[in-house]
Each structure stands twice: as C-alpha cells, then as structure tokens.
Amino acid sequence: MRLTHPMRLNGARAICQSLVEEGVSTIFGLPGGAIMPLYDVLPEFPQLNHILVRHEQCAAHMADGYARASAALKKPQEQRTVGVCFGTSGPGATNLVTGICNAHMDSVPLVAITANVPNNMIGTDAFQEADITGITIPITKQNYFVRNGKDLPRVLKEAFHLARTGRPGPVHVDVPKDVLLTDYDWNGYPTSVDLPGYQPTIVPNMRQVKEAARLIERAQRPVIIAGQGVLLSGAWDELRAFAEKTQIPVMTTLLGISGFPEDHPLSLGFLGMHGWVHSNYAVHNSDLVISIGMRMDDRACGKFAGFAPQAKIVHIDIDPAEIGKNVRVDVPIVGDVAHVLAKLEPEIQPDSLQDHAGWLERIRAWREQYPPKCYPDDTPDLFQPQVIQAIDRATRGQAVVVADVGQHQMFAAQHYRYTEPYSYITSGGLGTMGYSLPASIGAQLARPDKQVWCVVGDGCFQMTLQELAVLAIYRVPVKIALLNNEYLGMVRQQQQVQYRGNLVEVDLAGGPDYIKLAQAYGIPAWRATRPDEVDDAIDAAMAYPGPAIVEFRVARTEDVYPWVLSGTSLGDVLPDTPYESARERALAAAGPSPKDGTDR
C-alpha cells in the first residue's frame, strides 16, 4: 500500500502502515475476537509477513528469537530489528505475558500489540476483557493503552524507539477494538520522538573511563566478564581489540556466550553456576574484574558477598540501575558498550600494562586440571555432552544453537564451541521452559543463511510442542535435538544433591513416542540411543532439506557439573562428578526405560 497525505486511515491500517514504516517484515500472532479488524486489513500490506502460531506465548518467543538472531547482523541501535507479535484481548494477551517477561529479563527488543474490547466496554468485565496494560507494567520497558486512534502513529514510533534503543526491551501497545475500526487523519509517520524522560547515556564519562584505564594498567590478575551487552551493542570487534591489546582473558556470562570467539587464545568460556571451573577460579582469584554489559546476575556471580573478594570492579553497562545493584563497584561506567570500549582502549598505555603471562599460565593450569567432561566413545549409555559435541562436529561450530532451559541448556553452553555473535540463544533471565522451539523458529526466519539447531529436553519440549505445526507448515528448516532423559533433569539433579535424593514429581517416563509424534506433524525423525548412533542420526537430519527431529535417548541421571551451589561463591565451585558414578547411577536408573534402537 502506498500512501499519500493527507488521508484517513482506520486504526488497524494505521498500525499496519506504522509497522511498514518501521521496517517490520515478520509478525507472529494469532487472531481472535477483538483483534479481527487488524487481521482484516493485514492482506492489504503484503510487506507484512504473518506467521500463524498455535499459542500466543510462542508468538512472543518467536519474535524474541527473531530479534536476537537478527542482532548478529550489526546495525546502529536506531535500526535494530525489533520482534513483533500480535495477540487478541483477554486470554490472547495474557498468553503473551510469559513471552514478554522473558524478553524483559533478557533485554530483547520486542513490540507486542494486543487488541482490547471496545472503549465503551472497557472496565465492564466484558467478554475477553483483561486489564492487560495493568498486567504488563512491571514486565515491559514501557506500555501504552491507546484509547484514541489519533495517537497511534506517535505511540508506535515511541514504542519502536524505546524497544530498540538504550537497553532494549519489550514494549506493549494495547488498542481497543473500536479504535481499530475508526478512521483517523493520517498525517504521515512521525520522524522523531519527543520523550524528555528518556535519554539513554550512550557515550561514557571520560573521567571514569580514564580511572578504569589506570586500574587496568596496574592490574596483575585481571579478567573480563562479557555479558549480553557486548552482543546487543554489536561490540564484539571492540571487545576483541580491547582484550588483545591488554592481554586480559575473557569469559562470558550465559547470555554473553558468542560475544567473544571461544576458539580465541584469550577465551575462557563461560562462568557461573555451571560455567567452567577455571573461569570461576579466575574471577575468584582476580585483582580486577571488568564487567562489560552484564547485570551481575546471581547465576553468574554466585553469592554476591563472596564475589571476587580480592578484586577491584569496573562495571560497564548502559543501564545505571544495574551498576551497584548486586555487587559493590569501584569504577562505574554508564554507556553503550561499543562506545565505552572504543574510548577505553586508546586510553590504555601499552607500556604501563603489567605482564599477565604468569596469570594466564595459572588459569591454563586450572583449565588442564579441570577439563570438560570427556566420555569414552563406547559408553553403553548416551550422555548429553556427547550429543552436543557431535552436533558441534557436524556443523563445524557454524550453527545457531537455540537451547531451552535445564541440563541440556548448560551442556549446550559447555560443549559447543561458539565463535559467531548470537550463535547461542537461550532464555537466561527468566529461564522459560519451552522457549527453544518457538525461538528457534524465529531465529531461523531471521537467519535463513544459517543452520539452526534447537536443543531441547523432553520436559521443555512438551511445554510448547504444538508449534511443530508451524515448523511443518511453513517448512522452517530447524533441526531439533531432543535430549530425552524422561526427567525434569535439572530439578531431579537438585533433588538428588540438595534434597537428600528425595525425587518428587520429576519423572516424565511414559511420555509420548516422539517419533510417532513427529510423524503426526509430517516431520521426519530419527532416534539415537547409543553413542555410535549419534553421528548418523545427525547427518540424516542435516541432509534432509526441511525441519527434522532427532530424539536422543540419553542417560537418565547424568548431572551437570561444574556446579556452584546456590548460596556459595564462585570459588566454591564443585568441579565434577566422576564418570564412573554418573554411569553407575545411569545404569541403576536405566531399568524401565525402553531402548529400542534407531527408528526410521
């Protein structure tokens, strides 16, 4: 649709035209009563490609995965790709809540548009009425209830601006049905926003940058912790240059994974609850922690009071509210990571830097002492790391891995070598089980050039597997690695260790036959039960041009290590459970689980 001004548009067309103006090409949603006027005009806007989901929660997760995967293509913040999802009033809107909250916790640029009952019905407890803007206040960066359609272009302009700039996040726009149907003057889409209360700090204060530079020059045992801010800011090149110049080793948070290439000599992998022993030891023994674009989350930092006890802390983040929130900070730097690193790097005098060779050597020794868990090739049972390592080999580390939440999420973080930005996507902050299947669909639509692997456990898979219909019908070529241990594995592990082995309501045995389930959706599927079946199954799935599922029947009771138990500090990390004990428990539990070889 090509518009000339002035003209009149109804609210529905005004929304669609605004989305076109914002460069939106893909929308995820599901229609219902109140939002039907918007769907009624959608076909008039061929630029807007709509993906019909099976549950609104997944519309938000798909938009989330779409936005994150798009961010690998570096863009200025004003042009960041924003995920867009639609939902109708009442249950359609409340179903979006988990997905919006997930995006909020992980700073994902998202615009969620819902319809509500007509203005004259608002507040009457009408059919499918919910006070959805009341509900989304604490889980959005901003939200709008647009009771007058003349505000729509301004509101959408603001919504996209807020979602994609500064610290990104979700913005929710709720529009009563009659506003969608009423005609308003369309005077063109605004070219700027007027938000006096919103002025993100992009360029840092140089006094603090210089102060940080002096600390860095003096440090004997420095480490860099890179969070998702590096990815959001597109600062991977700046980070690499900074690390190479200063020879400071880099570890990432869970969401920071892939912000620094893991095959780089200075890469330490990730830290935190299930991060590497050497990374956690490095932080614990460091004399300077440079936290870049992270929010000092408890999963990354362990017990706050015991975090890096000997270190000064430089904290760089675009959100000042994150600085000093959880952990004491010596030098706070507020600004966009790419801008901060670009200013910080030239401030460092190479001659003033301390020699870190001994420190790097100490970390290398820890790394050798506590290597990634390695299994013999001929184990009778299949272990989750073996699967992830096989996917890494088969994809040559070039895939985008979208992991769900639980043990497989941690194994996927540990055993795949991530070298490209946003090649690891997961629900970090909210820990939303069921995230990976919809998010991988979104990621694949954003990155048709990449192979996308959805790594999912059987517990998570059963939370959103209705989206297999989307996978099949749109032929989105995601490869699903279903790591089936017939347990809520992470909860089972914690009950085992922290609740005296009292396993309560974690056994998922008797679940569906996933091969038959895949067949019901017309998706080819393979099953691997032993290590020697893994590579063939992965190759078969990769050779198939469309979506495919590989079910890996993995050992039921493997535990994720390293492990920083809740309430302990990173230095207290428990390195490993020996292979033998893992195997013994696996064998003990293997009894009732059917092992019937490869299907199809």
Is 220 annotated in the active site? no
- Nearer to another protein (CB atom), residue 223 or residue 327: 327
CA–CA gap between residue 422 and residue 66 (Å, rounded): 11
- Nearer to another protein (CB atom), residue 326 or residue 451: 326
Is 247 annotated in the active site? no
Q: Which stretch binds another protein (CB under 8 A): 132-140, 241-249, 340-348, 555-563?
A: 132-140
By the rule CB under 8 A, 319 interacts with another protein: yes
Dihedral of CA 526/528/531/533: which sign?
Answer: negative
Backbone angles phi, psi at 256, to 5 degrees: -85, -10
Cβ proximity of 514 and 525 under 8 Å: yes
- Tell me which of 141, 177, 343, 373 is the catalytic residue: 177
Cβ proximity of 416 and 388 under 8 Å: yes
CB burial of 371-407 (b: ≥16 within 10 Å; e: otherwise) equals eebebeeebebbbbbbbbbbbbebbebebbbbbbbbb
Residues whose CB falls within 8 Å of the CB of residue 591, separated by 6 or more in sequence, listed in order? none
Spacing of C-alpha 467 from chain mean position: 18
Closest distance between another protein and the C-beta of residue 376, in Å?
49
Q: Which stretch binds another protein (CB under 8 A): 28-36, 80-88, 134-142, 265-273?
A: 134-142
- Tell me which of 22, 56, 129, 467 is the catalytic residue: 56
- Tell me which of 128, 247, 462, 519 is the catalytic residue: 128
- Count CB-CB contacts under 10 A for residue 194: 9
Instruction: Give the number of residues in contact with another protein, rule: CB under 8 A.
Output: 27
By the rule CB under 8 A, 137 interacts with another protein: yes
Interacting residue with another protein among 201, 466, 496, 598 (CB under 8 A): 201
By the rule CB under 8 A, 334 interacts with another protein: yes
- Nearer to another protein (CB atom), residue 336 or residue 345: 336
CA–CA gap between residue 335 and residue 316 (Å, rounded): 7
Spacing of C-alpha 193 from chain mean position: 29
By the rule CB under 8 A, 321 interacts with another protein: yes
By the rule CB under 8 A, 393 interacts with another protein: no
Cβ proximity of 84 and 50 under 8 Å: no
Q: Which stretch binds another protein (CB under 8 A): 197-205, 266-274, 276-284, 549-557?
A: 197-205
Cβ proximity of 402 and 436 under 8 Å: yes
Residue type, 594: P
By the rule CB under 8 A, 105 interacts with another protein: no
Q: Which of residues 486-545 bind another protein (CB under 8 A)?
A: none
Is 270 annotated in the active site? no
By the rule CB under 8 A, 189 interacts with another protein: no
Backbone angles phi, psi at 287, to 5 degrees: -110, -5
- Tell me which of 127, 304, 349, 498 is the catalytic residue: 127
CB burial of 561-584 (b: ≥16 within 10 Å; e: otherwise) equals bbbbeeeebbbebebbbeeeebbe
By the rule CB under 8 A, 154 interacts with another protein: no
Look at residue 144 and give its three-state secondary structure.
strand
- Count CB-CB contacts under 10 A for residue 438: 33
By the rule CB under 8 A, 133 interacts with another protein: yes
By the rule CB under 8 A, 195 interacts with another protein: yes
By the rule CB under 8 A, 206 interacts with another protein: no
- Tell me which of 251, 410, 433, 490 is the catalytic residue: 490
By the rule CB under 8 A, 167 interacts with another protein: yes
Instruction: Compose the 227-266 pattern: x for residues touching another protein by CB under 8 A, - for all others.
Output: ----------------------------------------
By the rule CB under 8 A, 78 interacts with another protein: no
Helices (H), 434-577: 436-446, 458-464, 468-473, 489-498, 514-520, 531-543
- Nearer to another protein (CB atom), residue 138 or residue 510: 138
Interacting residue with another protein among 198, 474, 544, 579 (CB under 8 A): 198
Give the active site residues. Answer: 56, 127-128, 177, 490
Residues within the interface to another protein (CB under 8 A): 133-134, 137-138, 141-143, 145, 162, 166-167, 195-201, 317-322, 324-325, 334
